[in-house]
Amino acid sequence: MIPVSGFDDLNVAVLGMGRSGLAAARALRAGGAVPLAWDDGAEGRVRAEAEGIALRDLTRPGAFDDIACLVVSPGIPHLYPAPNPVIRAALEAGVPVDNDIGLFFRSLATDGFADHDTPPRVIAVTGSNGKSTTSALIHHCLQAAGVPAQLAGNIGRGVLDIDPPGDGAVVVLELSSYQTDLARALTPDIAVFTNLSPDHLDRHGGMGGYFAAKRRLFAEGGPDRAVIGVDEAEGLFLAGQMAEAPGDPRVIRVSVARKLAGPGWNVHARKGFLAETRKGKQIGSIDLRGIPGLPGTHNHQNACAAYAALRALNLAPRAIEAGLRSFAGLAHRSQTVATRAGVTFVNDSKATNVDSAAQALRAFPRIRWIAGGLGKEGGIAALAPDLGAVVKAYLIGHSARDFALQLGVIPHEICETLDAAVAAAAAEAEPGDTVLLAPAAASFDQFPDFEKRGEAFIAAVAALDAR
């Protein structure tokens, strides 16, 4: 646990008693604060009481009269589409609002850090797509190279639940826009921006607000190194803002769309080959083709971003390559779950928007595509250029019929349920086909989250052998 500093004997309100809220309350208490918990749901309040955390109804008048700070769980809106009433009450009372990420950064550098020969460092990864795989890949490569590392944030453990890092250790954080948007402290040693595509726009008031939330990771604390994907206009702009000169080595530009040139520090991948250049000279390369845990261009982008972050830590290219080759992939992200009679079954349940689904659709030659769920604005119309490898689509969930109308001449079948879609796709698949779950939709119509949807896919594939 990372005890939260700076609130000795002060009352700190915590709104939302999910994973991050409970961890924040525990860490506040460990650091000498008095956490006062509230959750709009009765179950959350029961969880708090079970851990001996006092409750306070933050909806009542005067609830913030003696509160030093309000700590908010990431899923609770603080500005758009409308502030949660409790957050608004705190702001009207002049009470600062923070989240567990802000508490982590303000509390990590304690007096004990002076005793380390090599102070612990933090790599923070954000972006629209690939940030989970990139974070997990960095963590895996560090461990494979013998570097003590912990993975936390939006993946793995809650950020305040991790152990205090020791000498030479690295903390790898995956951070969503919900987390970066509100944190009052953001001071990673290395910050990574993978890419940007429309997502969570209602929460951020549009694309500009969404980019601004991501940009805070770089603008607030000024990381020692910034690894930035420059294949979108926003990333190119961000790299330009962070660099003081054309060859500024503090910025490492990453691309899978083109070969990067110039005097700066660049990492790019073309046709499956990763190359690192500095001052116009190539100083490292890796053949990414055939690495089973990193299929497709989107995973090559993840590999480039991870490679750049690890090089910023002075990890040798050969050590990074060994880590990339031993990476098994991340659950629910282009995860190969079975090969049956020459047919490969791939679980990409995390592909909850059209951009992430497009990356998966580009990665395989003959696809029987399982899609659908709770569709987002625009449906799958934007995927039209990426459907060339789709032999047939098997549609599920709330948006199945809407998606069917947007498929045009692509053969499709409305299956309603995931089990039915897996059975139908498996029955029609031929050797060399890939049965791909890449829903391009949220899961909440039939499953509590994308993980449960992915687990259901894996179970349905396993059940095929019992038939």
Annotated binding site for ATP, which residues?
127-133
**Residue 87 three-state SS:** helix
CA distance 400 to 377: 14
Amino acid at the residue 258: R
- Annotated binding residues: 127-133
Please name the residue ranges forming H helices in 119-176. 131-144
Q: How many residues does the chain have?
A: 467
Which residue in the block uniquely carries the two structure tokens 């008031």?
205
330 touches 420 (CB < 8 A): no
Which residue in the block uniquely carries the two structure tokens 């690894």?
227
Residue 62's Cβ-count burial label (10 Å; 0-12, 13-18, 19+) is exposed
CA distance 233 to 196: 9
Amino acid at the residue 120: P
457 touches 337 (CB < 8 A): yes
DSSP secondary structure code for residue 431 in this structure? T
H or E segment at 102?
A: helix 100-108
Query: What is the C-alpha radius of gyration for the chain, rounded to an integer number of angstroms?
Result: 23
Residue 358's Cβ-count burial label (10 Å; 0-12, 13-18, 19+) is buried
CA distance 337 to 237: 39
* Angle, vertex CA 370, rays to CA 369 and CA 374, nearest 5: 135
Cβ atoms < 10 Å from Cβ of 438: 27
- 405 contact partners, CB below 8 Å, separation of at least 6: none
**Among 141, 191, 150, 188, CA closest to 303:** 141
Q: Give me the helix-helix angle, 354-361 and 296-312, nearest 10°.
A: 100
**DSSP code per residue over 288-341:** -TT-TTS-HHHHHHHHHHHHHHHHHTT--HHHHHHHHHH---BTTBSEEEEEET
**Residue 104 three-state SS:** helix
Cα atoms in the 13 Å half-sphere on the side-chain side of 57: 5
